């Protein structure tokens, strides 16, 4: 027959301390200092908690006195030509991302600066390729004749996870509106060769 086991304390082997206390309302207290607890795959977290973090990081040694490796931003009227940004043989992307449907992904990237000459009223778009689809985060124009301008490439977005989001790739990307005559590249150089330049990207999954 079914039965209940009612206890208040579970004590240690020496019977000296209460290792686990069970209150009258069912709350469990682990009394050990800094216990080791392993959560299984069925563990759940309340809304707003970061439950998984993915990141990419690469430091380059080139400084402002050196020639900079650059990525030419493709031109198109649509994002169809978008590709992942590559600098110093490094692709600014994170692969193998699996996330739960309806959770949020907070996506950030730091991949150098956009150097541009005049492109009139044609815009340059900064964003991410998520599983092959481009998502725009911001845009800029540069209208200063032949003078070069520098715009930081720091896209950020919040993405709602769709169904079947398993082993996906998220990459930093950009494209400029076709029709302009300017030259647009992304470059990255550190202030000194010792400090270098830190290229990075992160994807944080937030429980909803």
pLDDT tens digits for range 147-179: 666 778 899 999 999 999 999 999 999 888 777
Q: Residue 52: its pLDDT value, please?
A: 94
Given pLDDT bands bounded at 50, 70 and 90, which one contains residue 186?
A: confident
Compare 147 and 47 and report the one with higher pLDDT.
47
Rounding to the nearest 10 degrees, give the CA dihedral for residues 127, 196, 114, 185.
-100
Give the mean pLDDT of the chain: 81
C-alpha separations of 144 from 12, 74, 158, 181 in Å:
75, 21, 33, 13
DSSP state of 190: B
| CA proximity to 204, closest of 53, 103, 60 | 53
Please state, in angstroms and rounded to a whole number, the distance separating the CA atoms of residues 190 and 50: 31
Contact between 174 and 85 under an 8 Å Cβ cutoff? The reply is: yes
């Amino acid at each position: 027959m079914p039965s209940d086991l009612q206890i208040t304390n579970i004590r240690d082997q020496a019977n000296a301390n209460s290792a686990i206390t069970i209150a009258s309302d069912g709350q469990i207290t682990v009394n050990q200092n800094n216990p080791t607890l392993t959560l299984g795959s069925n563990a759940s977290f309340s809304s707003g908690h970061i439950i998984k973090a993915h990141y990419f990081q690469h430091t380059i040694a080139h400084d402002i006195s050196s020639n900079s490796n650059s990525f030419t931003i493709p031109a198109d009227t649509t994002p169809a030509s978008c590709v992942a940004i590559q600098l110093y043989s490094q692709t600014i992307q994170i692969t193998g991302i699996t996330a739960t449907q309806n959770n949020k992904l907070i996506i950030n990237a730091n991949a150098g600066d956009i150097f541009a000459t005049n492109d009139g009223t044609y815009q340059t778009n900064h964003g991410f390729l998520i599983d092959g689809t481009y998502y725009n985060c911001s845009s800029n124009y540069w209208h200063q004749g032949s003078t070069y301008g520098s715009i930081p490439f720091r896209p950020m977005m919040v993405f709602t996870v769709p169904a079947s989001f398993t082993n996906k790739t998220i990459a930093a990307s950009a494209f400029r509106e076709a029709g302009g005559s300017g030259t647009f590249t992304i470059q990255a150089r550190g202030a000194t060769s010792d400090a270098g330049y830190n290229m990075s990207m992160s994807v944080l999954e937030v429980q909803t």
